[in-house]
Structure 1
Amino acid sequence: MSSIHLEPDQLPDPANHNEGKTPAAWATNSGIVVGAIVGGVGFMIPSFAVVWAGAALVVAALIGGAVLRGLGYGQPIKK
Protein backbone atom coordinates (compact mmCIF):
# COMPACT_ATOMS: atom_id res chain seq x y z
CA MET A 1 0.00 0.00 0.00
CA SER A 2 1.15 3.49 -0.75
CA SER A 3 1.30 6.16 1.89
CA ILE A 4 0.78 8.90 -0.69
CA HIS A 5 -2.62 10.54 -0.56
CA LEU A 6 -3.69 13.15 -3.11
CA GLU A 7 -6.64 15.43 -2.75
CA PRO A 8 -8.83 15.97 -5.83
CA ASP A 9 -7.58 19.55 -6.20
CA GLN A 10 -3.98 18.24 -6.43
CA LEU A 11 -4.68 16.09 -9.49
CA PRO A 12 -3.76 17.33 -12.98
CA ASP A 13 -6.42 18.31 -15.49
CA PRO A 14 -7.72 15.37 -17.54
CA ALA A 15 -6.27 14.89 -21.00
CA ASN A 16 -8.26 15.52 -24.17
CA HIS A 17 -10.23 12.47 -25.19
CA ASN A 18 -9.90 12.78 -28.95
CA GLU A 19 -7.05 10.22 -28.82
CA GLY A 20 -5.27 11.83 -31.75
CA LYS A 21 -8.27 11.60 -34.06
CA THR A 22 -7.64 15.04 -35.52
CA PRO A 23 -7.05 16.22 -39.08
CA ALA A 24 -3.43 17.02 -38.19
CA ALA A 25 -2.83 13.51 -36.85
CA TRP A 26 -4.48 11.85 -39.82
CA ALA A 27 -2.54 13.94 -42.33
CA THR A 28 0.77 13.34 -40.55
CA ASN A 29 0.30 9.59 -40.21
CA SER A 30 -0.98 9.17 -43.75
CA GLY A 31 1.97 11.11 -45.14
CA ILE A 32 4.45 9.07 -43.12
CA VAL A 33 2.90 5.79 -44.31
CA VAL A 34 2.95 6.90 -47.96
CA GLY A 35 6.55 8.09 -47.60
CA ALA A 36 7.59 4.79 -46.04
CA ILE A 37 5.92 2.84 -48.84
CA VAL A 38 7.61 4.97 -51.50
CA GLY A 39 10.96 4.57 -49.74
CA GLY A 40 10.46 0.81 -49.48
CA VAL A 41 9.68 0.57 -53.18
CA GLY A 42 12.85 2.56 -53.83
CA PHE A 43 14.85 -0.03 -51.90
CA MET A 44 13.27 -2.90 -53.82
CA ILE A 45 13.91 -1.48 -57.30
CA PRO A 46 17.21 -0.05 -56.21
CA SER A 47 16.65 3.61 -56.95
CA PHE A 48 18.14 6.09 -54.53
CA ALA A 49 16.05 8.87 -56.08
CA VAL A 50 12.86 7.06 -55.07
CA VAL A 51 14.25 6.35 -51.58
CA TRP A 52 15.04 10.05 -51.12
CA ALA A 53 11.61 10.98 -52.48
CA GLY A 54 10.06 8.77 -49.78
CA ALA A 55 12.22 10.43 -47.13
CA ALA A 56 11.17 13.85 -48.42
CA LEU A 57 7.51 12.83 -48.16
CA VAL A 58 8.02 11.82 -44.53
CA VAL A 59 9.68 15.15 -43.72
CA ALA A 60 6.92 17.04 -45.56
CA ALA A 61 4.28 15.11 -43.58
CA LEU A 62 5.94 16.00 -40.28
CA ILE A 63 6.14 19.67 -41.22
CA GLY A 64 2.57 19.64 -42.52
CA GLY A 65 1.32 18.05 -39.31
CA ALA A 66 3.09 20.67 -37.21
CA VAL A 67 1.59 23.45 -39.32
CA LEU A 68 -1.91 21.96 -39.05
CA ARG A 69 -1.50 21.62 -35.30
CA GLY A 70 -0.40 25.23 -35.10
CA LEU A 71 -3.48 26.26 -37.07
CA GLY A 72 -5.72 24.53 -34.53
CA TYR A 73 -6.49 21.29 -36.39
CA GLY A 74 -4.64 19.09 -33.89
CA GLN A 75 -4.55 18.55 -30.18
CA PRO A 76 -4.03 21.76 -28.25
CA ILE A 77 -0.52 22.48 -27.03
CA LYS A 78 -0.31 22.23 -23.24
CA LYS A 79 0.93 25.34 -21.52
Structure 2
Amino acid sequence: MAENPNAENPYLPSAAPFHNEGKTVAAWVAMIGVTLGAIIAAVGFLSPTLWIIVAGAVVVVASLIAGAVLRGMGLGQPGAAVGERRA
Protein backbone atom coordinates (compact mmCIF):
# COMPACT_ATOMS: atom_id res chain seq x y z
CA MET A 1 0.00 0.00 0.00
CA ALA A 2 1.35 3.44 -0.88
CA GLU A 3 2.00 5.95 1.88
CA ASN A 4 -0.10 9.09 2.06
CA PRO A 5 2.18 12.06 1.22
CA ASN A 6 -0.23 14.45 3.02
CA ALA A 7 -0.11 12.58 6.33
CA GLU A 8 1.10 14.52 9.35
CA ASN A 9 4.43 13.61 10.87
CA PRO A 10 4.10 12.34 14.44
CA TYR A 11 5.91 14.37 17.07
CA LEU A 12 6.53 14.20 20.79
CA PRO A 13 5.81 17.16 23.06
CA SER A 14 8.76 18.84 24.73
CA ALA A 15 7.46 17.84 28.18
CA ALA A 16 4.60 15.89 29.67
CA PRO A 17 1.55 18.06 30.38
CA PHE A 18 0.76 18.99 33.98
CA HIS A 19 -1.53 16.28 35.36
CA ASN A 20 -3.51 16.54 38.58
CA GLU A 21 -7.09 16.22 37.29
CA GLY A 22 -8.05 19.57 38.81
CA LYS A 23 -7.40 18.43 42.38
CA THR A 24 -5.92 21.71 43.57
CA VAL A 25 -6.57 24.02 46.51
CA ALA A 26 -8.05 26.65 44.19
CA ALA A 27 -10.44 24.16 42.62
CA TRP A 28 -11.60 22.77 45.95
CA VAL A 29 -12.17 26.23 47.46
CA ALA A 30 -14.18 27.33 44.43
CA MET A 31 -16.21 24.10 44.31
CA ILE A 32 -17.05 24.05 48.02
CA GLY A 33 -17.92 27.76 48.00
CA VAL A 34 -20.21 27.45 44.98
CA THR A 35 -21.92 24.43 46.55
CA LEU A 36 -22.49 26.25 49.85
CA GLY A 37 -23.73 29.33 48.02
CA ALA A 38 -26.17 27.24 46.01
CA ILE A 39 -27.48 25.59 49.18
CA ILE A 40 -27.92 28.98 50.86
CA ALA A 41 -29.73 30.34 47.80
CA ALA A 42 -31.95 27.23 47.67
CA VAL A 43 -32.96 27.79 51.28
CA GLY A 44 -33.77 31.37 50.34
CA PHE A 45 -35.98 30.19 47.50
CA LEU A 46 -37.80 27.70 49.74
CA SER A 47 -38.57 30.38 52.30
CA PRO A 48 -39.09 33.33 49.96
CA THR A 49 -36.60 35.63 51.62
CA LEU A 50 -34.70 37.91 49.28
CA TRP A 51 -31.75 38.59 51.57
CA ILE A 52 -30.98 34.85 51.90
CA ILE A 53 -31.05 34.46 48.11
CA VAL A 54 -28.71 37.44 47.74
CA ALA A 55 -26.43 36.05 50.46
CA GLY A 56 -26.17 32.77 48.51
CA ALA A 57 -25.30 34.66 45.33
CA VAL A 58 -22.66 36.66 47.21
CA VAL A 59 -21.10 33.44 48.54
CA VAL A 60 -20.97 32.00 45.01
CA VAL A 61 -19.31 35.11 43.56
CA ALA A 62 -16.87 35.37 46.49
CA SER A 63 -15.82 31.74 46.12
CA LEU A 64 -15.22 32.15 42.39
CA ILE A 65 -13.06 35.20 43.10
CA ALA A 66 -11.21 33.30 45.85
CA GLY A 67 -10.53 30.42 43.45
CA ALA A 68 -9.17 32.82 40.83
CA VAL A 69 -6.95 34.54 43.41
CA LEU A 70 -5.63 31.20 44.66
CA ARG A 71 -4.86 30.14 41.12
CA GLY A 72 -3.01 33.40 40.59
CA MET A 73 -1.00 32.65 43.75
CA GLY A 74 0.09 29.35 42.22
CA LEU A 75 -2.29 27.02 44.07
CA GLY A 76 -4.24 26.06 40.95
CA GLN A 77 -3.52 24.08 37.83
CA PRO A 78 -1.11 25.98 35.59
CA GLY A 79 -1.95 26.69 31.97
CA ALA A 80 -0.18 25.24 28.95
CA ALA A 81 2.27 28.15 28.71
CA VAL A 82 3.46 27.60 32.29
CA GLY A 83 4.12 23.92 31.63
CA GLU A 84 6.17 24.79 28.55
CA ARG A 85 8.29 27.28 30.53
CA ARG A 86 9.10 24.66 33.16
CA ALA A 87 10.42 22.18 30.59
Band the TM-score falls in, shorter-chain normalisation: 0.7 to 0.9
TM-score by length of 1: 0.85
Please name the residue that 2:42 is paired with.
40
CA distance in 1, matches of 2:61, 2:14: 34
Please name the residue that 2:22 is paired with.
20
CA distance in 1, matches of 2:16, 2:7: 20
Give, in angstroms, the shift of residue 17 of structure 1. 1.4
Following superposition, which runs of at least 4 residues in structure 1 exceed 4 angstroms of deviation?
11-14
CA distance in 2, matches of 1:53, 1:25: 21
CA distance in 2, matches of 1:75, 1:58: 20
Letter in 2 for 1:44: L
1:1-79 to 2 correspondences below 5 Å: 4-9=7-12, 14-79=16-81
How many residues are treated as equivalent by the alignment? 77
Compared with structure 1, are the counterparts of its residues 52 and 4 closer, same or farther at alpha carbon in structure 2 (3 Å cutoff)? Answer: farther
Q: Percent identity?
A: 46
Letter in 2 for 1:58: V
CA distance in 2, matches of 1:71, 1:56: 22
Give, in angstroms, the shift of residue 5 of structure 1. 2.7
Letter in 2 for 1:40: A
Question: Which structure 1 residue ranges, 5 or more long, are not aligned?
Answer: none
Root mean square deviation, CA, Å: 2.0
